[in-house]
Structure 1
Amino acid sequence: MANQKEKLFSDFPAVSTEEWMAKIVADLKGADFEKKLVWRTNEGFNVNPFYRSENIEGLKATDSLPGEFPYVRGTKKDNDWYTRQDISVNDFKAANAKALDILNKGVTSLGFNIDGDDVSAENIKTLLKDICPEAVELNFSTCYRKSLDLIKILVDWYKASGADLMKCFGSVNYDAFKPLLKKGRDAEGWIEKAAEIVKAAAPLPRFRVLGVNAHATNDSGAYIYQELGYALANGNQLLSALVEAGLDATLVAKKIKFNFGIGGNYFMEIAKFRAARWLWAEIVNAYNPICNNECPNKSEDGICRCAAKIYAHAQTSTFNKTVYDAHVNLLRTQTEAMSATIAGINSLTVRPFDETYKTSDDFSERIARNQQLLLKEECHFDKITDPSAGSYYIENLTKSIAEQAWKLFLETDEKGFYEALKTGSVQTAVKASADNRFKALATRREVLLGTNQYPNFTEKASSKIVEKEACGCGCGSNAPYMPLPTDRLATAFEALRLSTEKHGAPTVFMLTIGNLGMRLARAQFSSNFFACAGYKIIDNLGFDTVEAGLKAAREKNADIIVLCSSDDEYATLAPEAHKLIAGKEHLVVAGAPACMDELKAQGIEHFINVKSNVLETLKVFNAKLGIN
């Protein structure tokens, strides 16, 4: 039997790429292969419908192993990662109690967000009471102005703890360019400040203190190659400036931490992290960082290969999360977590599904934790390193994303990331990408389930939204530079629907008539269309006459009447409906019939179909109905 299985595939003749293409072209029956089957990505390259072994010949990644330079397949030989949960610290004693509690629930990494005015040695001592620094990764984020003070306090605390500092992992998220990216304010003196921070953190060899917050561009709507390309430019700006300031390249490289976002493009995100390791390793290696230790990872000429290892934290994106049908966010964060962990990140934060509309509670935080634990304990994602290696598709995605990101890196690095931020070129490019995605969402070329497609017809959200307090440090006032955009992908649709809730939902009546299949399909399409604005939908099985349908619509006090039938029947049914309605209600024809121009000439102005801009059309109806 075993011999029979071994011979199974040898019994079939090999099929060449040319033969596959001939078969595909034949099946297309004259349709253009490029237009029908080649995916034109937002990342600036095309994706073919199939790949074969010949497509990965000569690729570097296929010859490398996990833990080996240039680290395409991982910076370590295992695939374990830190399961991180962030805590907003308002009460230090309460935050400490929460930290100790969740450490017993599977968390192996803590992230503390501390207000700048609260940074003090006493508060940090209270916060970290009874936490073993050797057993958990500790990460801290505070106001830009207080990062140095926090690092000095942490160095003293770690020394006093008696812990083996070589076993203590963690970070302080000092982002040199945060004022420009987030607040539109200059980051003057960032080189001197960053140098001070690196020197102050030197006693903690496993602590990363220079944050490259690539998730900021991700959360603003950047495409994947932009997030990666700008992150590399950011990291290299830090590295080059501090080396020029006299710091050791090895030390600086080991103090940089990349904090990436994770979007919903599953395979692309896997490829992004693989490309990130590869490109950052090449950048750092160009500085010839010297290794002064006896390390098995040192090259023959004394170059420190460990310095070239990227340290990548990942967090699920906020850009594609929604207020309406918020439990769908769980599906989004789960696939995002899968992308990141399959790709081999160092640590991961799954953001709670409800954080788009309120401060997350114990339940949503527990679910977010468990999403990671399921991947470890039940799916065993931590047991296999780089399982995507050798995949013809993902290897080609890795190469293509690396090429596009590298091109953008070179363009940005030529002028310097800092100068690019001051001129607004980074922010402008990200905004353009976000605007393209907003347009794609409005026309349903990009889908957010529950927002612009298949909404929950009866859901109300205004009562569950709790406004969050803004930063109180005053660093965003009188901003002279352009910050990154902050709207989520669903923001405009949600604003539209919330306006409807506030006003009271108008009624949309489906006047279904004629061809059974067409009227049912178009009624379903139209119901989903208007429900995106929170309108009340009344569907029907069908009417024998337009007059009967109109009578039923008026009994239901309909504001909008949607005529749902076949294209052929619209030529007679639509003019009849228009005449009977006589402007008392708004008439909409579902579809784009060949006679549309003739119908428009008769005064029928509203048509909805798959090419309609859903958002703009609904805004028009809101205005007509007095909803604002």
Structure 2
Amino acid sequence: MSKKHTTTSGIEIKALYTSAKAITEKPGEFPFTRGIQKDMYRGRLWTMRQYAGFSTAEESNKRYHYLLAQGTMGLSVAFDLPTQIGYDSDHEMSEGEVGKVGVAIDSLKDIEILFDGIELKKITTSMTINATASILLAMYIALAKKQGADLKEISGTIQNDILKEYAARGTYIYPPKPSMRIITDIFEYCSKELPKWNTISISGYHIREAGSTAVQELAFTLANGKAYLKAALEKGLDINVFAKRLSFFFNCHNNFFEEIAKFRAARRMWANITKELGATDEKAQMLRFHTQTGGSTLTAQQPLNNVIRVTNQAMAAVLGGTQSLHTNGYDEALSLPTEAAAKIALRTQQVIAFESGVTDTVDPLAGSFFVESLTDEIEAAAQAYIEKIDAMGGSVYAIENGYMQQEIANSAYQYQNEVEAAERIIVGVNKFTQETEGITDTLQIDETIRTIQTDKINKLKAERNTEAVAIALDKLSAAAKSANNLMPFILTAVEEYATLGEIADCLRNEFGEY
């Protein structure tokens, strides 16, 4: 019997495809299978971002200036773990984590340093932040105001996707329902004050990193997106306004055609979901997304092989029609990327854009019997998951009952078993191995950063207007008890130099911890 060939999601691949359902719509037309713009990259390339942030705001600022000088088109900020879960650097829970997986931000002072010499009105900034997204966004707004920028023109994205934190990643603070309230408050506030800001980046990336299949990543991400749409509708917001500012964040793994088909299916499915919920404006039906190459696919063994993996994944993201792309550094299985690794990652995107020819025509793989068939099969498999989640009452209920978490865990376990049994080949790991790996130059983060940040906090607290901070935090507490939008109160507290931890604690006291 011949070996059965399948995608990572278990979809069987035939030896030969001789037909597929004809695709009739053009790019830029509902349901956007072929892309959201009529001319795609002929008109404008995707935004080339490099995700960066480590150590102190001063150190990260140097890396941002370096990346901008190398031709990156947008900044993407990584925050350390204490910042992500609402602790200041001097908190006992922060020990050993300050500045490690991202930059440490304790107050508006740190944001001022982080973007020193960078005009916010001239760049777009993506911030990978969820539980404390409202606070970091408030800090960004406060700095933009100080720079004299027009808030109506400021553009960027906050991840702000708390549902996938409960399902896959773990950096949540409050229970699901108050967390959803904060998110819809951000939607409402930005629709009036920052109309060009993407208020959420609904993220499949971390669902995939936790071990899901491509189909699960697509299904759970869109199911979460549906939950955010419904929460905003319940708040009385207009879907034709707020849905235009939702964006998505997907992973791109090694299975080249499965990933391309996943992106094409995602656009089509989201267009139909938004339409069913009442969206009539085409811009509110479009799925716009950022892609990051798969961190969990990178190997510590023979790290230079990762350059090839990242190139393969980046090409799939481009052929799948991404709006924005981050390419991982080859050394990321060992440490945060060095400058050299960050540069080759950016050059990978530039070579694809300017040398490969794949940007010359729109949706070059359309009409391929294989790609069209696979797009349909991925859509059908993801749709079956969404119907199951809908029957449970939606994503919030599916997460509270542990359904998504269990499905992801089962897939991760199966994948690991396949690698260990060498049924799935990972080059350099379970085949073509070697004794020495050859990379010694990695980025090390010094433990003294916590001391530096603590000194900054102490200095800040000695210099700020203590009474004004107390009044701002009291008003925030009162707002949390009421139905008022929290964003103006968070912004006031930030502008008085209340710390991130003080603001998060204020909300912890009202909402509790999950």
TM-score class normalised by the smaller sequence: 0.7 to 0.9
Separation in 1 of the partners of 2:233 and 2:162? 15
After superposition, the Cα gap between the structure-2 partners of 1:399 and 1:468, relative to the gap in structure 1 and judged at 3 Å, is farther
Match of 2:486 in 1: none
Separation in 2 of the partners of 1:386 and 1:172? 28
Match of 1:442 in 2: 420
Separation in 2 of the partners of 1:420 and 1:164? 41
Match of 1:351 in 2: 328
Separation in 1 of the partners of 2:170 and 2:425? 30
Tell me the SS of whatever aligns to 1:211.
strand
Match of 1:75 in 2: 36
User: Shift in Å at residue 403 of structure 1?
Assistant: 0.8
Structure 1 residue aligned with 2:281, among 304, 310, 313?
304
Question: Are residue 171 (structure 1) and residue 157 (structure 2) matched?
Answer: yes
Match of 1:86 in 2: 51
- Quick check: 1:214–1:259 contact (8 Å CA) kept in 2? yes
Match of 1:610 in 2: none
- 1:165-187: CA deviations, max 9, x gaps? 66543101212225423228643
Tell me the SS of whatever aligns to 1:254.
helix
Structure 1 residue aligned with 2:360, among 359, 370, 383?
383
Tell me the SS of whatever aligns to 1:140.
strand
Question: Are residue 155 (structure 1) and residue 141 (structure 2) matched?
Answer: yes
- Quick check: 1:179–1:187 contact (8 Å CA) kept in 2? no
- 1:298-353: CA deviations, max 9, x gaps? xxxxx211011112111111222211111111111110001001111011111111
**RMSD in angstroms over aligned alpha carbons?**
2.8
Tell me the SS of whatever aligns to 2:199.
strand
After superposition, the Cα gap between the structure-2 partners of 1:184 and 1:100, relative to the gap in structure 1 and judged at 3 Å, is closer
Separation in 1 of the partners of 2:402 and 2:432? 38
In the superposition, the TM-score normalised over structure 2's length comes to 0.76
- 1:53-94: CA deviations, max 9, x gaps? x4234xxxx111111111111111222201111121533233
Match of 1:595 in 2: none
Alignment of 1:3-42 (within 5 A): 36=2, 39-42=5-8
Tell me the SS of whatever aligns to 2:20.
helix
- 1:329-380: CA deviations, max 9, x gaps? 1111110001001111011111111111122211111111111111112114
Alignment of 1:387-402 (within 5 A): 387-402=364-379
- 1:439-474: CA deviations, max 9, x gaps? 1111211111011001013448899797999xx999
Separation in 2 of the partners of 1:134 and 1:280? 30
Greater CA drift, 157-166 or 375-384: 157-166
After superposition, the Cα gap between the structure-2 partners of 1:142 and 1:56, relative to the gap in structure 1 and judged at 3 Å, is closer
Separation in 2 of the partners of 1:165 and 1:69? 31
- Quick check: 1:213–1:259 contact (8 Å CA) kept in 2? yes
- Quick check: 1:271–1:395 contact (8 Å CA) kept in 2? yes
Tell me the SS of whatever aligns to 1:46.
coil
Match of 1:285 in 2: 275
- The runs of at least 4 consecutive aligned structure 1 residues that moved more than 4 Å come to 159-168, 458-469, 472-475
Structure 2 residue aligned with 1:367, among 344, 349, 354?
344
User: Shift in Å at residue 204 of structure 1?
Assistant: 1.8
Separation in 2 of the partners of 1:348 and 1:460? 28
Identity among equivalent pairs (%)? 26
Structure 1 residue aligned with 2:185, among 196, 206, 212?
196
Alignment of 1:267-286 (within 5 A): 267-286=257-276
Question: Are residue 43 (structure 1) and residue 9 (structure 2) matched?
Answer: yes
Match of 2:100 in 1: none
- 1:123-162: CA deviations, max 9, x gaps? 3233333434454321123461x32122233334445545
Match of 1:214 in 2: 204
Separation in 2 of the partners of 1:317 and 1:45? 20
Match of 1:26 in 2: none
Question: Are residue 106 (structure 1) and residue 68 (structure 2) matched?
Answer: no
Match of 2:20 in 1: 55
Structure 2 residue aligned with 1:128, among 109, 112, 115?
115
User: What runs of 5+ residues in structure 2 fail to find an aligned partner?
Assistant: 89-104, 451-500, 506-513
User: Which residue identity does 1:282 align to in structure 2?
Assistant: N
Question: Are residue 254 (structure 1) and residue 244 (structure 2) matched?
Answer: yes
Separation in 1 of the partners of 2:53 and 2:418? 35
Tell me the SS of whatever aligns to 1:431.
helix
After superposition, the Cα gap between the structure-2 partners of 1:465 and 1:365, relative to the gap in structure 1 and judged at 3 Å, is closer
Separation in 2 of the partners of 1:460 and 1:368? 19
User: Shift in Å at residue 188 of structure 1?
Assistant: 4.2
Greater CA drift, 99-108 or 250-259: 250-259
Match of 1:336 in 2: 313
User: Shift in Å at residue 109 of structure 1?
Assistant: 1.4
- Quick check: 1:84–1:347 contact (8 Å CA) kept in 2? yes
Report which of the two structures shows the higher radius of gyration computed on alpha carbons. Answer: 1
Match of 2:291 in 1: 314
- Quick check: 1:67–1:73 contact (8 Å CA) kept in 2? yes
Tell me the SS of whatever aligns to 2:281.
coil
Question: Are residue 408 (structure 1) and residue 385 (structure 2) matched?
Answer: yes
Greater CA drift, 447-456 or 237-246: 237-246
- Quick check: 1:151–1:200 contact (8 Å CA) kept in 2? no
Tell me the SS of whatever aligns to 2:282.
coil
User: Which residue identity does 2:40 align to in structure 1?
Assistant: D
Match of 1:607 in 2: none
Q: Which has the higher contact order (CA 8 A, sep 6+)?
A: 2
Tell me the SS of whatever aligns to 1:355.
coil
Separation in 2 of the partners of 1:464 and 1:149? 32
Separation in 2 of the partners of 1:381 and 1:125? 40
- Quick check: 2:199–2:246 contact (8 Å CA) kept in 1? yes
User: Shift in Å at residue 226 of structure 1?
Assistant: 0.6
Tell me the SS of whatever aligns to 1:307.
helix
Alignment of 1:229-248 (within 5 A): 229-248=219-238
Greater CA drift, 116-125 or 320-329: 116-125
- Quick check: 2:331–2:442 contact (8 Å CA) kept in 1? no
User: What runs of 5+ residues in structure 1 fail to find an aligned partner?
Assistant: 1-34, 290-302, 476-482, 484-628
In the superposition, the TM-score normalised over structure 1's length comes to 0.62
Separation in 1 of the partners of 2:58 and 2:352? 32
User: Which residue identity does 1:175 align to in structure 2?
Assistant: D
- Quick check: 1:133–1:168 contact (8 Å CA) kept in 2? yes
